[in-house]
Amino acid sequence: MSANVVLALTNVESAYGPIKAIRGVSLKVRQGEIATVLGSNGAGKSTILKTISGIIDPRKGTVEFRGEDITAKDPALIVQKGLSHVPEGREVFPLLSVHDNLMMGAYTRHDRDAVARDVEAVYGYFPILRERRAQDAGLLSGGQQQMLSISRALMAAPALMLLDEPSLGLSPLLTREIFEIVVRINRERGTTLLVVEQNANMALNVADYGYVLENGRIVMEDSCDRLREKDDIKEFYLGVK
């Protein structure tokens, strides 16, 4: 694994009973970049992320994070190693306050000053969360819950963050706002990101490098600048004739 590769999947296969969701996926994420996996509904995007973060054990292949084999390791251990997963559908703790949700994200950290600084940083990115900090998370709007879900993952101070469909169910305006913050997190905190998205337009605009997933297989990969110019991508993913 070369020095600047943070995450490497090699020939990973994962299945749900008889359903093979991903079939020999290999990909790399480099230090400091935003990488994206594009693919339509059911292509296997969420399964890739769940396999990386240890929620699903692959049938074959390996997952390496910062040079260490983390294949099928315990999800809590993987978080401790610096890899946070923001799942699809924003799983916040609905009966806990916004602030307590954030603190849950920091449960493995012991440096109180650093945690307090990160809470401030998060409220700086999403001021609405500061306003709502005493409110139950279940009362937030969908967009605010997405912000909280990203923020909670940030509270673990990850080196790599996995984001599953941050745009799901959000208006174009909110989607743009959230992606702007994702880019700031990457640039300002140096957090490496792997984002899976159906919104190819948005993903290709913010990411550096992209993979295209179809039926559980990577069928194309390139820099996002070059992917945007490919006819297949324009036609099937960007809706440009």
Which chain residues interact with ligand ATP by CB under 6 A? 16, 19, 21, 39, 41-47, 88, 165, 198
Q: Token pair for residue 195?
A: 């984002």
The secondary structure of the chain in percent helix, strand, coil, rounded to multiples of 5, reads 40, 30, 35
Whether the CB-CB separation of 55 and 16 falls below 8 Å is answered with: no
Cβ proximity to ligand ATP: between 38 and 122 the closer is 38
Q: Token pair for residue 55?
A: 């929620």
Minimum distance of ligand ATP from residue 21's CB (angstroms): 4
Minimum distance of ligand ATP from residue 162's CB (angstroms): 12
Cβ proximity to ligand ATP: between 101 and 145 the closer is 145
- In the chain, which ranges are continuous DSSP H helix? 45-52, 75-80, 98-105, 112-125, 127-131, 142-154, 172-189, 200-206, 224-229, 231-236
Cβ proximity to ligand ATP: between 42 and 124 the closer is 42
Minimum distance of ligand ATP from residue 214's CB (angstroms): 10
Minimum distance of ligand ATP from residue 217's CB (angstroms): 12
Minimum distance of ligand ATP from residue 221's CB (angstroms): 16
Cβ proximity to ligand ATP: between 46 and 144 the closer is 46
Cβ proximity to ligand ATP: between 23 and 73 the closer is 23
* Residue 211, SS3 per DSSP: strand
How far apart are alpha carbons 19 and 36 in whole angstroms?
A: 24
